[in-house]
Amino acid sequence: MARIQSKEFPVSVEIALVFIVIGIALYLFATEKFPLDITAILILITLIAIPLLFHSQWLVDRGVNLKAAFPTVGEGLSGLSSTATVTVLAMFILSSGIQRSGLIHALGKLLFPLMGHSELRQILVIATLIGLVSGFINNTAAVAIAIPMVLDMARRSGSLASRILLPVSFFAMLGGTLTVIGTSTNILASAILADSPGFGREIRMFEFSHLGLIVLLTGLVYFLTLGRLLMPKKNAARLESEDEEFFIVELGIPEDSDLIGQTLEAAEFEMKTASKVLKLVRGTQSHIKRAATTALLADDVIQIRGNLRQIMDLIKSENVEVLSEFGDIRRVRKDGNLVRVLLRNERVFQGHSARQVDFWKRYQARPIGLEVDKLSSRRLADEALRVGEIVLVEVSTTALVGLRKHPDVVVLEVFEDEFDKRRMWITGGIVAGVVFGAVLTPLPIVVTALLGVVAMVATGSLAEEDLYSGVSWNVIFLLAGVIPLGIAMTKSGAAAWLGGLLAVHAVDWHPLLILMALYAVTTFMTELVSNNASVVILVPVAMSLAELLNMAIFPMVLIVMFAASTSFLTPVGYQTNTMIYGTGLYRFTDFAKVGAPLNLLLLVVTSTAVYLLWPVRA
């Protein structure tokens, strides 16, 4: 191939203007002087305004055609109706439906007991659950679901949360590379390729899944070896739980319980339920130190401390009964409402026990738990109440109306358990239908995803009022704002110019080195801006570079996609990193310490795999 000369790629005024806009955008993205979505909207407005304000015949006569180089109003707003934006929007809604159904929570409950106290097993389970799930629901949503589950698991296993939560984010990114719908980055790149005359189609659902699996397994091997040594040795801050309400409740052991004859320790009760065992009561005897090591008998009572989610799971358990006691033991109904109430009538409550107050007679409510650190009495029903304390009660929907109006208490919060097996099966089936509908029929993923949203609402899996609450609107407007930047890169010739400039230096390079260099540039760009912005800027450059170097477009775009989706160096380069950084458990440098070797490893592994699995020469 003839050597490419740099003089073949002069910088026009239009290209220079696009690069100025990109430079300003990079500065604003990197400094975060404005939220990323606001910066993206400013980019959109600027790109539309330039030809409207400054285009003139005088400039056209001198070879500067701003209208031809910049997006029209319709093109500038096309990001809002882009297949990428609409698909990401639909995937956020589907992910919200999955989250509300409790499917991921149920999977976690099945897998987390396998972890025990072994860090190796914890990493394996996280890689399996988060990595694979992130390929089929938005990986940001997967991390949002996983964070409270993993923090609970860290508390009950005694593990350092900072050593478990970092792999959650990293495996979510790695798992997102398994399918087109795993990340917004993949969806956006697929849409750009579909609009490109040189490629002209969307990427198929599992077209690069084998590469994604290689990347995921590479990450797993890394964390089982070197990554474990580099992870934080302590939490950067104490793991706080002030935002979570914990209650002391009592559990009865029914005669048909599988726990009879076992100890709570042998049954791994605390690990499986995520609760804290406080006391075992048997007749007139109480065991505190030996509560977990005493074999259980029918009618034993266990006092535990747990949060609302854990209590709801225990209410559904067949092996224990969440009790409400008024002299007689009553099992909590599975169809009642759980309500936090504040006690405020001093004459009724101050110094009186729940047994004496008789909640059922006064309020048609059964007290289940107290929001206190410890009890001063042997049994929950005998604990002296105080004005200002918070009690968890069970009440029917009808009685709740009267409870809200009663002057003795203040209803603080009503909890609804949305988790049920029927909804889990339905939402799981809908997401599977979305995926396989796009694989087995001519329908594109955007259509099957929208059909999935309709199915979520039609089946009652997602209420109409909750339809958009799970959408990360900042990501939607970020996509809508940066897509016109890609249009300007193409129309102005900036992408072709930048590709030509890179081609001048890379023309004699081995194709594998070109792939590695493009991976490194994308990684650096993603840490400066965002994964979506770097894809919009660099996918057109990759396509131009491929054309100039006589290389295939798809492998080049794959490199950009994977590098943008697996950038681990900072907590701001990818949204999942930002989410776990927000827990306060990490220092800024923890991400580079663990992520830099993994980035270098994936640069080599991904580039080599792409080179071997796809023909790189056109």
Average pLDDT of the residues in 510-524: 92
Query: Which pTM does this prediction carry?
Result: 0.68
φ, ψ dihedrals at 304, nearest 5°: -130, 165
- Compute CA distances 287 → 242, 327, 616, whole Å: 29, 21, 70
Answer for the pair 376, 409: CB distance below 8 angstroms, yes or no.
Answer: no
- Contact between 544 and 486 under an 8 Å Cβ cutoff? The reply is no
The pLDDT value recorded for residue 222 is 95
Please tell me the distance from the alpha carbon of residue 7 to that of residue 13, in angstroms, as a whole number: 16
Q: What angle do CA 24, 27, 30 make, to 5 degrees?
A: 150
Query: Sorting pLDDT into bands at 50, 70 and 90, what band is 9?
Result: low
pLDDT of residue 405: 87
pLDDT at site 335: 57
Q: What's the rounded mean pLDDT across residues 446-471? A: 85
pLDDT at 32 over 80: no
What separation in angstroms does the CA of 307 have from each of 241, 271, 525?
10, 14, 42
pLDDT of residue 419: 67
Least confident of 104-118, 200-214, 285-299, 394-408: 104-118
Most confident residue range from 7-11, 163-167, 272-276, 579-583: 163-167
Q: Provide mean pLDDT across the span 23-36.
A: 80
pLDDT in the model for residue 586: 81
Burial class (CB in 10 A: 0-12, 13-18, 19+), 180: buried
Helix (H, G, I), strand (E, B) or coil at 111: helix
Place 137 in a pLDDT band, splitting at 50, 70 and 90. confident
Q: Report residue 248 as tokens.
A: 């002391």
> In sequence order, which residues have a C-beta less than 8 Å from that of residue 222 and are 6 or more positions away?
597, 598, 601
Q: Where are the domains of the chain?
A: 84-237+451-473, 246-415
Evaluate whether 363 touches 326 at the Cβ level (below 8 Å).
no
What's the 3-state SS for 438-460?
HHHCCCCHHHHHHHHHHHHHHCC
Least confident of 504-508, 517-521, 605-609, 610-614: 504-508
Q: Is the pLDDT of residue 508 over 90?
A: no
pLDDT value of residue 556: 94
Output the CATH code of domain 246-415: 3.30.70.1450
pLDDT digit string, tens, across residues 268-289: 888 778 788 899 988 888 888 8
Count Cβ atoms below 10 Å from residue 403 Cβ, excluding itself.
23
Mean pLDDT to the nearest integer, 312-332: 71
Read off the pLDDT of residues 557-575 as tens digits, 9 standing for 90 and up.
999 999 999 988 877 667 7
Average pLDDT over residues 434-457: 86
Q: How many CB atoms lie within 10 A of CB 210?
A: 12
Reported confidence tier of residue 605, pLDDT bands at 50, 70, 90: very high
Is the Cβ–Cβ distance between 274 and 152 less than 8 Å?
yes
Q: In the chain, pLDDT over 70 holds for what percent of residues?
A: 90
Residue 4 pLDDT > 60 = no
Instruction: Look over the chain and give the mean of its residue pLDDT values, rounded to a whole number.
Output: 83
Instruction: Check whether 261 has a pLDDT greater than 80.
Output: yes
Quick one: tokens of 77? 């707003």
Give the per-residue pLDDT at 299. 86
pLDDT tier at 417, thresholds 50, 70, 90: low
Q: With 50 as the cut, is the pLDDT of residue 327 above it?
A: no
pLDDT at residue number 237: 54
pLDDT score of 595 = 92
Using the predicted structure, report yes or no on whether residue 334 has a pLDDT greater than 60. no
| pLDDT higher than threshold 50 for residue 248 | yes
Q: What is the pLDDT of residue 484?
A: 86
Q: Tell me how crowded residue 589 is: count the other CB atoms within 10 A of its CB.
A: 11
CA distance linking residue 423 with residue 437, whole number of Å: 20
